[in-house]
Structure 1
Amino acid sequence: MFGLADIIKFLISFFVILPIVTLIHLSGHIFFVTLFGGSEKKITIGSGKRLFSFWNIEVRRYYFWNGACEYKSLRHDTRVTNTKIFLGGSLFNLAGIFLVNTLISQGILDNSVF
């Protein structure tokens, strides 16, 4: 059965970890957009009304719900570059998984929440 500690872990995961993972994922897309000469890049975390923005990152009211990245044009716009842009999010998530697992196996992070 689930206890109070599990509910707290769920809330931390939902309201803190999930938006961080979304930001890492979208950063992977934007990294490859930047690599291939994209212009007017923007990351949006969440949905609803805009709460605040800094640099090219916009945070919305329901920050835990959704995410998106936008760009206008690419200097190198081919099928291969678009494939790398689409895979960028998954590659950054995979790198994050390996990083967190390494930190857990080294005893630097506690594995209860991560």
Structure 2
Amino acid sequence: MFGISNLVSLVMSAFIILPIVIFLREMSYLIVSWLFGVNNPRLTIGSGPRLFKIGIIDIRKYYHVYSWFSYDDLKTDSKLAYILVYASPIFINLSIALLINFLLANGWGEEYKTFWDRFIFYAFYFVLFDIVPMCTVNGKPNNGMIIYELIRYGKRVDFNTESFIPTTSEMEKQHKEYMKKIEEIKKEREQEKNK
């Protein structure tokens, strides 16, 4: 039976553990891309209007699950560099999950076992959906498909002409257009109210 303790656990999982796993996942792109001379990197957490931006961290108003890493260019323009960038979330989540699992198996963190078990679950969840090559609902390839296409064909071969990871400059342009539309809708609603 689903009780209050399960509800608290669910909230803790959704609003504490999941954001941490997602943040680590997105940071892995940043760390590996820095090794290859990334230009104009940005780590966007959430979606919708920008709440604030601190350096390369862009915090948005709505829920954190839709988060992404963007950049304009890599100085090292090679297949291996791109494969390593797209494989980085797989490696980081897998490494952290296996390390925590090893530590739990050896008696570490027993008092927070439920927390760490859920952390491991979410880490493996993202590994599964990153490693199995597939296209997402919007037709964009996941990391596994990008890596597969880079290894097999040396390039992206699906019908989608957008870059694997959107450029930071393009994302900033889209955000400004989005905010402009929101302001127009607000003005229209205000005018309707005042009639």
Which fold has the larger relative contact order, with Cα–Cα distance below 8 Å and residues 6 or more apart in sequence?
1
The AA in structure 1 aligned to 2:80 is V
Aligned residue number for residue 91 of structure 1: 91
Runs of 4+ in 1 over 4 A off after TM superposition: none
Counterpart mapping for 1:5-44 below 5 A: 5-44=5-44
- The whole-number CA distance in structure 2 between the counterparts of 1:52 and 1:100 is 33
CA-atom RMSD in angstroms: 1.5
User: What secondary structure is seen at the aligned counterpart in 2 of 1:69?
Assistant: strand
Q: Structure 2 matches for 1:1-114, cutoff 5 A?
A: 1-105=1-105, 106-108=107-109, 110-114=112-116
Tell me by how many angstroms 1:96 deviates. Answer: 1.9
TM-score by length of 2: 0.54
Give, in angstroms, the shift of residue 31 of structure 1. Answer: 1.1
Residues of 1 paired with 2:63 and 2:44: CA distance? Answer: 9
State the distance in 1 between where 2:58 and 2:17 align. 18
> 1:29·1:69 contact (CA, 8 Å) conserved in 2?
yes
Superposed displacement of residue 101, structure 1: 2.3
* SS of alignment partner, residue 66 of structure 1: coil
Q: Specify the SS of the correspondent of 2:64.
A: strand
Q: Which runs of 5+ in 2 are unaligned?
A: 117-195
CA distance in 2, matches of 1:101, 1:52: 35
Query: How many percent identity over aligned positions?
Result: 29
* Higher helix proportion: 2
- TM-score normalised by the chain length of structure 1: 0.89
Matched positions, count:
114
Q: Report the Cα distance in structure 1 between the residues aligned to 2:61 and 2:100, rounded to whole angstroms.
A: 28
CA contact (8 A) 1:27 1:92 kept: no
Name the SS for the 1:60 alignment partner. Answer: strand
Which sections of structure 1, spanning at least 5 residues, go unmatched?
none
Classify 1:99/1:51 alpha carbon distance in 2 versus 1 (closer, same or farther; 3 Å): farther
| Per-residue CA distance 1:2-36 (angstroms, 9 max, x = gap) | 11111111111111111111110011111111000
Separation in structure 2 between the aligned mates of residue 87 and residue 54 of structure 1, nearest angstrom? 26
